[in-house]
Structure formats: C-alpha cells, structure tokens
Amino acid sequence: MLENSTRTELSAMGEFALIKHLTEHFEIKNESTLKGVGDDAAVIQYEAGKQILVSTDMLVEGVHFDLTYVPLKHLGYKSIVVNLSDIYAMNGTPRQVTVSYAASNRFSVEAMEELYAGMLVACKKYGVDLVGGDTTSSTSGLMISVTAIGECEAGQAVYRSGAKEKDLLCVSGDLGGAYMGLQLLEREKFVFKDNPKLQPDLEGNDYILERQLKPEARRDVIEYLHKIGVKPTSMIDVSDGLASEILHLCTNSEVGCELYEDKIPIDLQTYDRAREFGLDPTVCALSGGEDYELLFTVAMSDYEKLKEAKDITIIGHITAKTSGTNLVTRSGGSHPLTAQGWKAF
Amino acid sequence: MLENSTRTELSAMGEFALIKHLTEHFEIKNESTLKGVGDDAAVIQYEAGKQILVSTDMLVEGVHFDLTYVPLKHLGYKSIVVNLSDIYAMNGTPRQVTVSYAASNRFSVEAMEELYAGMLVACKKYGVDLVGGDTTSSTSGLMISVTAIGECEAGQAVYRSGAKEKDLLCVSGDLGGAYMGLQLLEREKFVFKDNPKLQPDLEGNDYILERQLKPEARRDVIEYLHKIGVKPTSMIDVSDGLASEILHLCTNSEVGCELYEDKIPIDLQTYDRAREFGLDPTVCALSGGEDYELLFTVAMSDYEKLKEAKDITIIGHITAKTSGTNLVTRSGGSHPLTAQGWKAF
C-alpha cells in the first residue's frame, strides 16, 4: 500500500503515544477551541448566541473505499471534507473535528501517518481544529469515524424542511463527476488485475478523478450566498446523488418540484466519459453520489441576486406537494423522480 | 445471538428508513437540542456562557466486546455510558449523543433493535438526547462509534492537569470488579465451548457481572461534589485501570503521588473471586479496566467536606514530581507505579 521501506507496527506504540504522534502537527487555530486532544473531552466555547452544529460519518474499508486505488492521504482528506460539507449544508461554519479509527495489523504507523497527513491538509484548508478521537485495533480492515462540530448565528441554520412553493431549486458546481471518476478507477483496477504489467490509463481524466479522490466542501458557496445576502430556504449536500437529495428536501418540506433535465450541470469530461462507458450522463448526475455540491432552494424574490452567480445553477422550482416530484426531460416529458433516478413509464 | 424467531435483513430496509425505525422511540428531552436526527447536522444551543464538551469512543467487536456473552442490549447501554463518563470526568453534564455503527449481514434489524433498546435505556436514565449518527454495512463484525456532547459553566471544566502538591487523591466506588466480571465470563465461555450442555455458573456473582456488562457513569458523584461545594483540582474516569489513570493525572499535572495499597477500595465479591482465580486483588484494581469510577484530586482544605462522603475514598496524596509516582504497599514498601500495576524490584 505504501512504498516506504520502513514499517512500524501499530502495536509497537502505546495508544496514547500513537495519538500524540499522529496529532502533533495539528495546531489549534480557532479561539473557540479551549482544549483539544489530551483530556477526557474537548472543551469548546462559542460566542454567546451561537448555535452548535454536529454531524458524524463512518467510513468502512470495502464499503466506502478501496485502498487498491485510494491513497491513504486522499482518504484522510476526504474523510474530513465530507463531514465539513454537512456543516456547510446547514449554513454553518465548521470549527472542530474528532477523528476515530480502527485499523487491523495490516496497517503500519507509517500508513496512519499518511492518513493523518491528508486530514491535516483538510483541517488547514478549512480552518478546523482536530480536538479529539479514539484509536483502536480492528480484526479486519480500516474504519474511520469523523464528527464535525460547527457554529452558526442563532436562527441562521438552514434545514431540509424550509422549501416553499415557487422557490427556485439551485445546485452548486456540476454533478456526476465523482461517480464517473469511480467508474474509471474500478475499470482500471480490473484491467490491472488481468494484467498487472499494464499501467493505468488515467490521462485526460484529472477532473473526474479529483472529484472522486479529493472532493471539496463548498465553503465558497456559503460565503458567496452570505455576501450577496441570500439565505436559502432549505439546503442539503449532494452525497447520495441529486435525485435522492431532492426527494429529501421535498419530503422534509412537504412540497413537490419540477427538475429540468437540460438544466442539470454536467462537466464535459463527465459527459464524455459517461458516453464512452455507455451510461446516460443525466442518470450519472441523478444517481451517482459523492459530488458534495450544495442543493438548495431560494425564494423567487432572490432571483435577481442569484442570476449573476457563476457556479450556481437554477435547475428547477418547487411546486405543491400534490404535483409530485418530477423530472422534465429534454423531450418535454414529465416523469416521477425516484432515489435511483426517475421512473420512465 | 437472539431468540427472536423473525429475522429481517438489514439490507431489506433503506438506510434512512432504518435510522428512522431505530430512533423512533428516542424523545428529545433537553431544551438545548433544537434539531436532532434527520438533517445534515444536529443543532444545539446552550445558554450563554456555557462551554461545550465533546468526547468520542469507538467499540469494535472482537476487540472491545464478545457477543458470545455480551447481550446486545447491554452493549448498547454500555456504549452510551462509557462516553457519558468522559463528560462527567470533565465536571460537565452530558446532553446529547450521536451514534454510528457499521454491521455485517450477520446482524438483523431485530439485533439492531436490541442494541438501540439498550441505548434508549441509557439515554433516558442519564437524560441525554440522541441527535444524530450514521449506519452502514461492514465486511465483518460490528463497530459502534459514539460521540457525547455536554456542557459546563465557563471555568468549571476540570482537566487532568490541575493536581497540585499536597492535594488528596480520591476515587469513587470500588475497583477491579469489571475486570473480575470479565474473567468470569471468559472462563464460562471456555467451559461452554468444551461442553455446550453445561449451564454457565454465574450465581453469586451479580455484582461483578453487572460491573462488566452494565457499568454506570458516576453522575451522582459529580452532583454530590457540587452539593458539598468541592471542585476537584484534576479528574479522569477510570477506564484503563487505576494505575494508568493515576499516571495520566500525574504526567499532565507534572506532579508525583503516593498511593496507599490498603486504601484502594475493593468489593468483597471482587476480592473473593480474584483469590479464587489466583489473582492479586490489588493488581486487578490497578490494572483491570472498565470500572468507570472517577479518580480525582482535591485541595487538602476540602478534607473536612469530603470525609463524610460515603462512596468516595481517599487513596493517597499528590507529591512533588521529583518524588515519583509510588505505591505504598501493605508491608510499607514503596514501588514505582507502572501502567501495568507497579514495579516490585
């Protein structure tokens, strides 16, 4: 997994020495972090009136990631970012994370250093402090559990439940790229299994590979919306695919929607690779997960403020619940959305 | 594992339906919980001036628990309690928890219901709200990750680092019981393996079995200390054994200590069973973990307030760092403490 010539067994270091070793390069940057790693609990104090946001995710080897093609450093980066994405999706600012992992004796101290090196890059980039966690052994594989803690002004949290009829449905960035990156990596893995001498053919696919291996949380979108004075009425991050997330918003808000297929933002590389793989690019965007873009609704009255936004696309609008949740296809047909994409009768 | 005649595969329910199902009996009890399960993050707001405490633990099957003798309901209870214990050990009050698990297809929906039933009992007893989490599949076994969130008045958190020379070293309850409960369960497991027709011989061992299978967090001790107006100078919970925890306090506080063997509180059942197993009861107390008692130091001036306390024992005192961390044995000898117990030269 690693090309390091040295290998230090995890069992060679005590748990406390190991935590200290892995976290020593993490500096505390936030005033709100009063005590980080090293006691029974972290101690945090936000300014009076702030609300606390807490989100947690578990990543399991063989379920969420495949170390035959995911570098541990990227995995560390991604495991932090996907949790921060949840805090941004509440209209908040992440400030702290805790990280726990369980690793089998297949993993060395050097391997865990790589994992934490990736986490460190993410923490620095997003300005969050690592304040605690747990390390333990496992009987098989690697599991990572990250909890992100953040803050927002009282009353400023944006829930999944606030969408109203006639609101505009918006999404940041583009969709389906992370899914196509995964398809590409899976294909090369099988090619490599058949003939280990073949070098992986990944050229010209930088964008979709980065979407899969090194996703970003859309802090910039949250900051931009603050700047232009737009507060979404509802919001969620796109981790499971656009269709599934739209259904969450509509179910929680008790509304329906019309999503326009021709408005769904898809990058050219994603589009081309999907075609090569014999896949429908729209299906990749609707059902492929892990894009970590923000899906949100805004009041129609915010349209003027939003229409100049470079990286935000209006993809539909909210309707009455009785109208259902529908995809309007390029050909003009209207089909009920499902978590897997849509139902074409 | 369960005697239920029905078995519902975890894969038969979608992730969101499963979370909803497992958490439906959990009610929100704390005013500070503004939003629990069901959005990208939980939303919490403590009163102005409060500090936030965050602690997390990961429990792995085959490492931390053995389902051949640990009922899932007890495991659920314990997985919550051990995290609450960390919040109490900061002199705080736990208010919220998040729970994530990864489970292989060996586990059914009914098995997870048992796990959550135990968590529900713990949450009710300690007045904490389940506010989030993650459920996923695993390729082998069960992993549980719990994060506890709590609060304390600003300036009232008690760290591991505050012990001062001449402070009294105190511990709640008694020690070594959870370890002896584990020894007993392990013995019966092997007897059962040899002859599955033999019923386990656990009679007369209720106390040590409960210490192992259903430990409690010492909320009562924290409340009692508040009531009598004693604020510990340092504190930690006893999860890894008394010796290891004393070394944490002394290292973090840059002090030494004298621990008196004859003062270490050991229950009669623990003592008798240790002797039967050919073990030194003192070693069980020093090195056996999972008692979840509170180890703390108080200023000498608080001695009068504490001496009436029924369930708190003064087991030693803090010395200068240069004096080292020593166990004074019954015979009057002084031996350096180690994480494993002590060094008898």
B271-319, pLDDT tens digit by residue?
999 999 999 999 999 999 999 999 999 999 999 999 889 899 999 999 9
Task: Check CB contact under 8 Å for B100 and A35.
Answer: no
Reported as a pLDDT band with limits 50, 70 and 90, residue A2 is: very low
Q: Taking the model in full, what pTM does it have?
A: 0.94
Q: Is there a single domain that holds both residue B175 and residue B86?
A: no
Q: Look at residue B160 and tell me if it is in a domain.
A: no
CB contact under 8 A, B159 and A39: yes
The closest CB to that of A137, out of B63, B139, B149, belongs to: B63
What is the three-state SS of chain B?
A: CCCCCCCCEHHHCCHHHHHHHHHCCCCCCCCCEEECCCCCCEEECCCCCEEEEEEEEEEEECCCECCCCCCHHHHHHHHHHHHHHHHHCCCCEEEEEEEEEEECCCCEHHHHHHHHHHHHHHHHHHCCEEEEEEEEECCCCEEEEEEEEEEEECCCCCCCCCCCCCCEEEEECCCCHHHHHHHHHHHHHHHHHHCCCCCCCCCCCHHHHHHHHCCCCCHHHHHHHHHCCCCCCEEEECCCCHHHHHHHHHHHHCCEEEEEHHHCCCCHHHHHHHHHCCCCHHHHHHHCCCCCCEEEEECHHHHHHHCCCCCEEEEEEEECHHHCEEEECCCCCEEEEECCEECCC
Q: Quick one: which of A12, A2, A1, A16 has its CA closest to A135?
A: A16
Contacts of A55 in chain B (CB under 8 A): 40-42, 132
Q: Which residues of B219-229 are buried (b: 16+ CB within 10 A; e: fewer)?
A: bebbebbeeee
The answer to whether the beta carbons of residues B259 and B337 sit under 8 Å apart is yes
Tell me, yes or no, whether B252 and B277 share the same domain.
yes
Q: Given CB atoms, is B221 within the 8 Å cutoff of chain A?
A: no
User: In the listed set A124, A153, A182, which residue is the last one of a domain according to the structure?
Assistant: A153
Q: How far apart are CA A122 and CA A282, in angstroms?
A: 30
Residues B332, B266, single domain; the answer is: yes
Tokens of A10: 């995890």
Q: Which residue has the tokens 């004075």?
A: A229
Residues in chain B within 8 Å Cβ distance of A101: 58
| Subunit contact B40:A160, Cβ cutoff 8 A | yes
List the single residue in B51, B57, B252 with the smallest CB-CB distance to A45. Answer: B51
**Residue B92 domain flag:** yes
Whether B51 is in a domain gets the answer yes
Q: Is residue B194 a part of any domain in this protein? A: yes
pLDDT surpasses 80 at B15: yes
Q: Do B134 and A56 touch (CB under 8 A)?
A: yes
Q: Are A270 and A174 in contact (CB under 8 A)?
A: yes
pLDDT above 60 for A1: no
The two tokens of residue A197 are 């001498």
Cβ of A100 within 8 Å of Cβ of B35? The answer is no
How many angstroms away from the CA of A217 is the closest CA of chain B? Answer: 13
* Cα distances (angstroms) measured from residue B45 to each of A20, B41, B322, B323: 31, 13, 45, 46
**A16 to chain B: nearest residue by CA?**
B248
B161 is a domain residue: no
Give the ipTM of the model, two decimals please: 0.93
Reference A83, options B98, B112, B130, B205; nearest CA is B98
Q: Given this model, what pLDDT does residue B202 score?
A: 77
A107 against A12, higher pLDDT:
A107
Tell whether B141 is within 8 A of chain A (Cβ): yes
Residues A48 and A89 in one domain: yes
**Interatomic CA distance for residues A146 and B23, integer angstroms:** 20
Phi/psi for B316 (5° steps) reads 170, -165
- B294 and B192 in a single domain? The answer is yes
Can you give the pLDDT at residue A108? Answer: 95
pLDDT digits (tens, 9 = 90+) for A13-23: 888 889 999 99
Position B198 scores a pLDDT of 74
> Is A328 a member of any domain?
yes
CB of A60 less than 8 A from some CB of B: yes
Are B13 and B106 spatial neighbours (Cβ–Cβ below 8 Å)? no
Could you give the CA distance from residue B274 to residue B241 in angstroms, rounded to a whole number? 15
Distance separating alpha carbons of residues A120 and A118, to the nearest angstrom: 5
Q: Is A11 helix (H, G, I), strand (E, B) or coil?
A: helix
CA-based nearest residue to B58, from A138, A323, A114, A44: A138
Nearest CB among B64, B139, B235 relative to A140 is that of B139
Q: How far is the alpha carbon of B68 from chain A, nearest alpha carbon, in Å?
A: 16
Using the beta-carbon criterion (under 8 Å), do A40 and B237 form an inter-chain contact?
Answer: yes
Last-in-domain residue among B153, B187, B205: B153
Within 8 A of A145 by CB-CB distance, chain B residues are 56, 58, 100, 134, 145
What digits encode the pLDDT tens for the residues A46-58?
999 999 999 999 9
Q: Would you call B40 and A131 a contact, using CB atoms and an 8 Å cutoff?
A: no
Instruction: Say which amino acid occupies B180.
Output: M
The helix or strand, by DSSP H or E, that contains position A153, with its residue range, turns out to be strand A142-153
Best interface-test mutation with A: which of B40, B142, B147 has the largest number of A CBs within 10 A? B40
In the predicted model, what is the mean pLDDT of chain A? 94
| Confidence (pLDDT) at B2 | 47
Alpha carbon distances (Å) from B252 to A126, B159, B246, B289:
30, 9, 10, 20
Q: Mean per-residue pLDDT for B244-254? A: 97
pLDDT above 90 as % of chain A? 86
| End-to-end CA gap in chain A | 47
| CA A79 – CA B100 distance, rounded (Å) | 15
The pLDDT assigned to B16 comes to 83
Do B141 and B234 lie in one domain? The reply is no
Average of per-residue pLDDT across A27-46: 95
Q: How far apart are CA A343 and CA A332, in angstroms?
A: 15
User: Scanning the structure block, which residue is given the tokens 């199902």?
Assistant: B21
Residues B205 and B248 in one domain: yes
Residues of B in contact with A161 (CB under 8 A): 39
> How many residues are given for chain B?
345
Instruction: From chain B, pick out residues whose CB is under 8 angstroms from the CB of A14.
Output: 339
Contact B98, A56 (CB under 8 A): yes
Per the CB < 8 A criterion, the answer to whether B261 and B328 are in contact is: yes
Residue B332 at interface with chain A, using a CB cutoff of 8 Å: no
- pLDDT-derived band at B1 (thresholds 50, 70, 90) equals very low
At B64 the pLDDT is 95
| CA neighbours closer than 13 Å in the CB half-sphere of residue B254 | 0
Mean pLDDT of all residues in A229-240 = 97
> Distances from the Cα of A302 to the Cαs of A229, B156, B257, in angstroms?
9, 46, 66
pLDDT at A222 (0 to 100): 98
Cα distances (Å, whole numbers) of residue A121 to A142, A200, B222: 20, 26, 39
Which chain A residues in 233-292 lie under 8 Å from chain B, judged by CB atoms?
A: 235-237, 252
- On chain B, the residues whose CB falls within 8 A of the CB of A296 are none
Nearest CA-CA partner of A126 in A239, A219, A237: A219
Neighbours of A49 (CB within 10 A): 11
Q: Which two tokens stand for residue B286?
A: 């020093």
Residue with tokens 């599955």: B196
Contacts of B41 in chain A (CB under 8 A): 53-55, 86-87, 89-90, 92, 148, 150
For the segment B84-122, what is each residue's pLDDT rounded down to a tens digit?
999 999 999 999 999 999 999 999 999 999 999 999 999
Q: Which domain holds residue A19?
A: 10-153
Same domain, B286 and B249: yes
Residue A143 sits in a domain whose CATH number is: 3.30.1330.10
> Using the 8-state DSSP alphabet, how is residue A49 labeled?
T
Is B172 found in the same domain as B132? no
pLDDT tens sequence across A120-134 = 999 999 999 999 999
- For B206-240, write each residue's pLDDT tens digit: 999 999 999 999 999 999 999 999 999 999 999 99
Burial profile A170-187: b = 16 or more Cβ within 10 angstroms, e = fewer: bbbbbbbbbbbbbbbbee
- For residue B309, the domain's CATH number is 3.90.650.10
Q: Are residues B97 and B27 in the same domain?
A: yes
Q: Report the gap between the CA of B86 and the closest CA in chain A (Å).
A: 5
Q: Are residues B246 and B140 in the same domain?
A: no
Q: Nearest C-alpha of chain A: how many angstroms from B151?
A: 9
CA B21 – CA B26 distance, rounded (Å):
10
Contact list in A for residue B81 (CB cut-off 8 A) is: none
- What pLDDT, on a 0 to 100 scale, did the predictor assign at position B73? 97
**A53 in reach of chain B (CB within 8 A):** yes
Residues of B in contact with A98 (CB under 8 A): 54, 56, 147
Same domain, B196 and B271: yes
Question: Is any Cβ of chain A less than 8 angstroms from the Cβ of B17?
Answer: no
The structural domain count of chain A equals: 2
Listed residues B153, B179, B195: the one ending a domain? B153
